[in-house]
Chain A
Amino acid sequence: MTANPKIQDYAVIGSGRSAALVSRHGYIDWLCWPRFDSPSLFGRLLDLRAGGSWSIAPAEPAEVERRYIDATNVLRTRFRTGSGVVSLTDFMPAASEEEKRRMLWPEHELVRRVECELGEVEVRAHFDPRPDYGRAKVTLRDAGVLGVRIEMGARLITLRSDVKLAPAAAGGVSGTVRLKAGEAVAFSLTDAWEGPAVLPPLGDLILQKLALTVGWWQRWAARASYTGPYRDQVVRSALALKLLTYAPSGAMIAAPTTSLPERVGGDLNWDYRFCWLRDAAFTARALFGLGYREDAEAFVSWMLHATRLTRPELRVIYDVFGESNPAETELPHLRGYAGSSPVRVGNATRDQLQLDVYGEVVEAVTHFLRSGGELDRETQAMLRHFGGYVCRHWREPDNGIWEPRDKRQHYTHSRLLCWVALDRLLGMHRLGRLGGIPVEDFTKHRDEIRRDIEDRGWNPALESYTQVLGGNTLDATVLLLAFLGFDQASSPRMRLTFERIRGKLGGGPGLLYRYEQSFAGGEGAFALCSFWIADFLARGGGTPEEAHRAFAATAAYANDVGLFAEEIDPKTGDALGNFPQAFTHVGLINAALSLAERDERERHLVNGRQRTAPAAGGGEPRPEVHR
């Protein structure tokens, strides 16, 4: 293949510690071991020649269809050729910790199994790893039954295969096998960082691992409590979020890739393999809302643990263990996805000031408390310090949620989240969950922030809330004024704001750009903000029918296996930016939850009217519920 596949042509598999992208042509073009943010072993995604990949596909042209095995993260790609049909099953083994203790389990493993379903098909495999983003010089050694091995210091990467592999002219090793109906071959790639390495046998054990993995994912997916009309999309989003969660700590990364462009051929290429605090509140709502209490508590616990080193100041992003992420550097030896350079690793956002993160963290803790969580004294002290920090700093300009790298400004969204921080802390105090806060001081600052937003965030000429205080440009984040309880979605101001935003930032049915600067930058519509349309309508900004139509319109931009990137090209529908993107899937889940809540309220209204109709002839509308 000589051109990059479209971003939406990829699917993701993973283990809760790392993830791989598999193209619909059978190529694994992205894999970072041992962690999401480790250097890549396969990086063809970012350079067709230097990145390295692992392909398994029929030797002849084929029609391709693919799907995840129901409610799992096990990918099955079906190739239909002129001579037959083969299916390729890709997964990283998953099992409960109890099950893992029953057998020796490799530190990291990726399994690929090809089975001929019909006719006879020649299958070609080409394994061409390029560790350290293609910078490491490595030698592949054929160790016979022990597989093809790469030794890098104490690290050992091993590929075991049912197919005889030999050195290939283009680099790496390759082999071909002709499969008849009912026949199958398997491949197991393992990575060991401490010796002796575990080298699992192939054969029946592969099928056992497949069964364990399918069972584990299906049990996990079945726990999703959402029962509305979009269950398939919601469960797929939950499964995607699970793949982006680093299980040993509970952290959730923004995406498993770096430098997939927001504008193909451009330089809006960032490393998203870290954890953004700005995602905290929405992530907590999505996980708690779906009933994934353990995952949600682990996430909140990670967040509170991670922020201890820097408190009361918070950083914008952290790595999976709560360390500051590495400084941003460029990899000039990689051409970038479809020539989109530079390729960046690390993220310079680490040095930015984003005052909204305080509100995000406090709001996430609010969701934690709502689900029955308790705060120990140390966490209470930390929250009090956050409140104090907000009181001292809310008047300052910052870099804002979208992290522009120019001057700091007084963003309405940042002010809103400062208001949220103080409002929620006062709420916790009122409910007896948080002691020792200076109530008068917090109340005074909270009310001042409200006046500031109402007076300067609202532009009467434009009849809309604006991106910055006293400004005249639009930004989709002001819709969050309704989501976070500052105002009601049905209020005149919010309805006007919504109309202005939809009119100016709309990118077609179900699509929304994040701000006016998107047009000059040539980026796509922002998938998360696009789901905010349905969410806003569901919260009272429109009718339930309008909200459902908006949701369906946005959800239709998912790829064939239900995944979203960060952005969507409104002209082509192509995915843009890092993939798959946690924030987008969080947005889908939250919009679906808001729709379910709205539907529930509507049902109550109808039932109420029916019950009271004979006596009173009508019912009172229920008050708006903000969550």
Chain B
Amino acid sequence: MNWGSWLLWGFVGTVVLTTLMAGSQRLGLSRMNLPYLLGTIFTPDRDRAKLVGVGVHFVNGWLFSLVYVAAFHAWGMSSWWLGALTGIVHASFVLAVGMPVLPGMHPRMANEQYGPTVVRQLEPPGFLGLHYGVRTPVSVLSSHAVFGAILGGFYPVG
């Protein structure tokens, strides 16, 4: 296990992933904002939530990259395409399983069974995050593929 390399490329991968997803937002492809989603677990203040969320997001990035690195070691190899595939599997799981259950875990997120009570909460992302824009799955899949490709391409196994 190369700890220094994991820390570096986990960080770089998370920076690129975050940048790509922020870019998707700016281009009007998706409303998905992971740091904001994470930050609002801790505070309802929008500006503060983004700040807190970025911190949590980077910790998550390192934790997830640890799983990627463990997988590379288990396979005895790493490459950009293996990392990208791992990223796609990871993103698919997040979209198909994580997004629908998120309202159950997030204290400030409405779920699709709410009603008629209305509270000013975050909209649920729905299956594949489609409620945040129909192109959200593309944005999430591609950014995670790039995240995995960076890890797989630069992390040395052995």
Q: Which residues of A contact B (CB under 8 A)?
A: 14-17, 34, 94, 96-97, 100, 105, 107, 216, 220, 242-243, 245-250, 294-295, 297-298, 301-302, 305, 308-311, 321-323, 376-379
Q: How large is the interface on B (under 10, 10 to 19, 20 to 34, 35 or more residues)?
A: 20 to 34
Q: A16-B114, A248-B111 are in contact. List 20 more A-B contacts (CB 8 A).
A: A16-B117, A17-B112, A94-B116, A96-B117, A216-B116, A242-B116, A248-B114, A248-B123, A248-B124, A250-B120, A294-B118, A301-B120, A302-B123, A308-B31, A309-B29, A309-B31, A321-B126, A321-B131, A323-B131, A323-B134
Assembled-state Cα–Cα distance A311/B142 (Å): 23
B117: which A residues are within 8 A, CB to CB?
A: 16, 96-97, 247
Tell me whether B98 is interfacial, beta carbon within 8 Å. Answer: no
B123: which A residues are within 8 A, CB to CB?
A: 248-249, 302, 305, 321-322
Chain B residues numbered 26-49 whose CB sits less than 8 Å from any CB in chain A: 28-31, 45-47
Assembled-state Cα–Cα distance A379/B133 (Å): 19
List the 6 closest A-B pairs by CB distance, nearest first. Answer: A16-B115, A16-B116, A247-B115, A376-B46, A321-B131, A297-B120
A-B contact number at CB 8 A = 85
Tell me whether B113 is interfacial, beta carbon within 8 Å. Answer: yes
Assembled-state Cα–Cα distance A96/B119 (Å): 11
Given A322-B31, A323-B134: A247 in contact with B116 (beta carbons within 8 A) = yes
Report whether A247 and B28 are in contact in the complex, using a CB–CB cutoff of 8 Å: no
Report whether B47 and A15 are in contact in the complex, using a CB–CB cutoff of 8 Å: no
Tell me whether B17 is interfacial, beta carbon within 8 Å. Answer: no
A323: which B residues are within 8 A, CB to CB?
A: 131, 133-134
A243: which B residues are within 8 A, CB to CB?
A: 116
Report whether B110 and A309 are in contact in the complex, using a CB–CB cutoff of 8 Å: no
Chain A residue nearest to B48 (CB atoms) is A376
Interface SS of chain B:
loop
Assembled-state Cα–Cα distance A378/B46 (Å): 9
B121: which A residues are within 8 A, CB to CB?
A: 298
Report whether B118 and A16 are in contact in the complex, using a CB–CB cutoff of 8 Å: yes
Assembled-state Cα–Cα distance A267/B131 (Å): 33
Q: Which residues of B contact A (CB under 8 A)?
A: 25, 28-31, 45-47, 110-121, 123-124, 126, 131, 133-134
Assembled-state Cα–Cα distance A615/B31 (Å): 64
Assembled-state Cα–Cα distance A242/B112 (Å): 16
Given A298-B118, A305-B31, A323-B133: A107 in contact with B25 (beta carbons within 8 A) = no
Report whether B116 and A377 are in contact in the complex, using a CB–CB cutoff of 8 Å: no
Given A94-B116, A247-B118, A250-B120: A377 in contact with B110 (beta carbons within 8 A) = no
Max chain A Cβ within 10 angstroms of own Cβ: one of B29, B113, B121: B113
Assembled-state Cα–Cα distance A17/B28 (Å): 27
11 inter-chain pairs at a CB distance below 8 angstroms, sorted by A residue, are: A15-B115, A15-B116, A97-B114, A216-B116, A246-B115, A248-B115, A305-B31, A308-B31, A322-B31, A322-B123, A379-B46
B116: which A residues are within 8 A, CB to CB?
A: 14-16, 94, 216, 220, 242-243, 245, 247
B45: which A residues are within 8 A, CB to CB?
A: 376
Max chain B Cβ within 10 angstroms of own Cβ: one of A105, A294, A301, A321: A321
A302: which B residues are within 8 A, CB to CB?
A: 123
B112: which A residues are within 8 A, CB to CB?
A: 17, 34, 248
Assembled-state Cα–Cα distance A243/B118 (Å): 11
Assembled-state Cα–Cα distance A247/B112 (Å): 8
Given A15-B116, A16-B114, A323-B134: A377 in contact with B47 (beta carbons within 8 A) = yes
Assembled-state Cα–Cα distance A457/B43 (Å): 49
Assembled-state Cα–Cα distance A294/B110 (Å): 14
Assembled-state Cα–Cα distance A220/B118 (Å): 11
* A100, chain B: closest CB distance, angstroms: 8
* B113, chain A: closest CB distance, angstroms: 6
Report whether B120 and A298 are in contact in the complex, using a CB–CB cutoff of 8 Å: yes
B47: which A residues are within 8 A, CB to CB?
A: 376-377
Report whether B120 and A294 are in contact in the complex, using a CB–CB cutoff of 8 Å: yes
A105: which B residues are within 8 A, CB to CB?
A: 113
A250: which B residues are within 8 A, CB to CB?
A: 118, 120
Report whether A295 and B118 are in contact in the complex, using a CB–CB cutoff of 8 Å: yes
Chain A residue nearest to B109 (CB atoms) is A248
* A381, chain B: closest CB distance, angstroms: 11
Report whether A247 and B126 are in contact in the complex, using a CB–CB cutoff of 8 Å: no
A378: which B residues are within 8 A, CB to CB?
A: 46
A246: which B residues are within 8 A, CB to CB?
A: 115
A377: which B residues are within 8 A, CB to CB?
A: 46-47
Max chain B Cβ within 10 angstroms of own Cβ: one of A15, A107, A309, A310: A309
Report whether B25 and A308 are in contact in the complex, using a CB–CB cutoff of 8 Å: yes
Report whether B46 and A309 are in contact in the complex, using a CB–CB cutoff of 8 Å: no
* A236, chain B: closest CB distance, angstroms: 15
Chain A residue nearest to B46 (CB atoms) is A376
* A177, chain B: closest CB distance, angstroms: 31
A97: which B residues are within 8 A, CB to CB?
A: 114, 117
A295: which B residues are within 8 A, CB to CB?
A: 118
* B26, chain A: closest CB distance, angstroms: 10
Assembled-state Cα–Cα distance A218/B142 (Å): 49
Report whether B28 and A311 are in contact in the complex, using a CB–CB cutoff of 8 Å: yes
* B86, chain A: closest CB distance, angstroms: 28
A249: which B residues are within 8 A, CB to CB?
A: 110, 123, 131
Assembled-state Cα–Cα distance A250/B109 (Å): 12
A321: which B residues are within 8 A, CB to CB?
A: 123, 126, 131
Chain B residue nearest to A247 (CB atoms) is B115
B131: which A residues are within 8 A, CB to CB?
A: 249, 321-323
Assembled-state Cα–Cα distance A216/B117 (Å): 9
Assembled-state Cα–Cα distance A105/B111 (Å): 14
Assembled-state Cα–Cα distance A323/B126 (Å): 13
Assembled-state Cα–Cα distance A243/B123 (Å): 19
Report whether A247 and B31 are in contact in the complex, using a CB–CB cutoff of 8 Å: no
* B62, chain A: closest CB distance, angstroms: 27
Assembled-state Cα–Cα distance A246/B114 (Å): 9
Assembled-state Cα–Cα distance A311/B134 (Å): 16
Assembled-state Cα–Cα distance A378/B33 (Å): 12
Chain B residue nearest to A213 (CB atoms) is B116
* B104, chain A: closest CB distance, angstroms: 11
Chain B residue nearest to A375 (CB atoms) is B46
Chain B residue nearest to A249 (CB atoms) is B123
Assembled-state Cα–Cα distance A298/B46 (Å): 15
Chain A residue nearest to B25 (CB atoms) is A308
